[in-house]
Amino acid sequence: MDIDKKYDNYDFPVTAAEPQNGHAGHLNQQQIAQVHQLRMMLEAEGYTDRLDTLTLLRFLRARKWDVNLSKAMFIDTEKWRKKTKLDETVPTWNYPEKPEVAKYYKQFYHKTDKDGRPIYIETLGGIDLTAMYKITTSERMLTNLAVEYERLADPRLPACSRKVGNLLETCCTIMDLQGVTLTKVPSVYSYVRSASEISQNYYPERLGKLFLINAPWGFSTVWSVVKGWLDPVTVKKIHILGSSYQTELLKHVDRESLPVEFGGTCRCDGGCENSDAGPWHDPEWARPAWWEKTEEKIIQNDGSKIETAQEAPAAEPVLVAEKAQDEIKGEAKQAATA
């Protein structure tokens, strides 16, 4: 790996624990040259941010080391960031409706797995978009997802890397499918698809392991078809587990890191879903994130006004969701075409 101080100002380990082709610390000369080539091509088109080696490596791996495709993916991501004003949003983002949304759909980071990676947990069985859009909007939910990806990149992963002493770039995801029935599939699918498009198109190479627990009857049949559409590298990261998932899951996650409702022993004050417990809050490992270093004073943000179904025509929340999903589909189509 060729470190250039002009771009690479890391304050955490930058070598992966295991030798993996195309990963930091384990590059061949051609791959190093491709990093430089991609950077020069992007600079030639006026891009100056996020040109560090680790970021460019993720885009190159995501596009099988095709520099032109990697460039297209990077540019699409930068256009999306600019369109959504993500860099301005992250430092001041507040999501006060999260506790209410969590009654239907929990999304949270909580401690680390046995490899030291952040654990991300989602519960999909309670999703009720009609009820949720009385509390928030699809646009705000997707913005919150993007902000959490930014905070995964910094400060969560750097803190975890410092603690274990080697580079960590991915997280361990647990998706609980308990309660997902055929009648709920359309609404669950519509949102998860939009969220997945954001992660795949704009945050490549962030999935370490994915455990789908409490998979309903018949899911294995669906999965046998779906995995044929996925990259074999991605398929290897996904583990389909039924209701007797704990034995397998505990091979990867210590009991004390797992909330009690998933078979662990952790009972955080106020609920594990609200604690955000992890090395990123430990003074020994934590450092200020990029969005905490902005020169401008961070303003107090109590959350923008959320116009819900009680305050507006009943159809409006649905239209907001459809608009947000249409925009994401457009972005995804552009990425695929590129």
Q: Give residue 259's pLDDT.
A: 97
The model's pLDDT over 262-321, given as tens digits with 9 standing for 90+, comes to: 999 999 999 999 999 999 999 999 999 988 875 444 434 444 445 544 444 333 333 333
How many Å apart are CA 25 and CA 8, to the nearest integer?
14
Q: What is the CA radius of gyration of the chain?
A: 20
Per-residue pLDDT, averaged over 17-40, amounts to 93
Average pLDDT, the chain: 85
Question: Residue holding tokens 């695929």?
Answer: 336
Whether the pLDDT of residue 190 is over 60: the answer is: yes
Residue 255 or residue 19, greater confidence:
255
What pLDDT does 208 receive?
Answer: 93
Report the C-alpha dihedral over residues 115, 4, 206, 137, rounded to 10 degrees: 130
Report the largest interatomic distance among the alpha carbons of the chain, rounded to a whole angstrom. 60
- Region 72-89: mean pLDDT is 97
- Whose CA is closest to 161, among 211, 208, 115, 209? 115
Predicted confidence at residue 256, as pLDDT, reads 97
| Alpha-carbon distances of 122 from 21, 199, 216, rounded to whole Å | 31, 14, 16
Tokens of 316: 């409006």
pLDDT band at 220 (very low <50, low <70, confident <90, very high): confident
Say yes or no to pLDDT of 328 above 70.
no
The model's confidence at residue 221, banded by pLDDT at 50, 70 and 90, is confident
Residue 257 has pLDDT above 70, yes or no: yes
Q: Could you report how far apart the first and last alpha carbons of the chain are, in Å?
A: 28
Which position has the higher pLDDT, 307 or 167? Answer: 167
- According to DSSP, residue 16 is labeled B
- Provide φ and ψ at 162, rounded to 5°: -65, -40
| Residue 187 pLDDT class (50, 70, 90 cuts) | low
Question: What's the confidence (pLDDT) of residue 183?
Answer: 66
Q: Which of 78-87, 148-157, 177-186, 304-313 has the lowest mean pLDDT?
A: 304-313
| pLDDT per residue as tens digits for the range 113-161 | 999 999 999 998 888 888 999 999 989 999 999 999 999 999 999 999 9
Query: What percentage of the chain reaches a pLDDT higher than 90?
Result: 64
pLDDT level of residue 54 (50, 70, 90 thresholds): very high
Identify the pLDDT of residue 299. Answer: 38
Note the helical H segments in the chain: 29-44, 53-62, 67-84, 86-89, 98-101, 129-132, 138-151, 157-164, 185-202, 219-226, 232-235, 246-249, 272-275, 316-337
Mean pLDDT computed over 190-195: 78
Give the chain's domains with CATH numbers: 1-84 (1.10.8.20), 90-281 (3.40.525.10)
pLDDT of 11 above 70: yes
Alpha-carbon span 188 to 71, nearest angstrom: 32
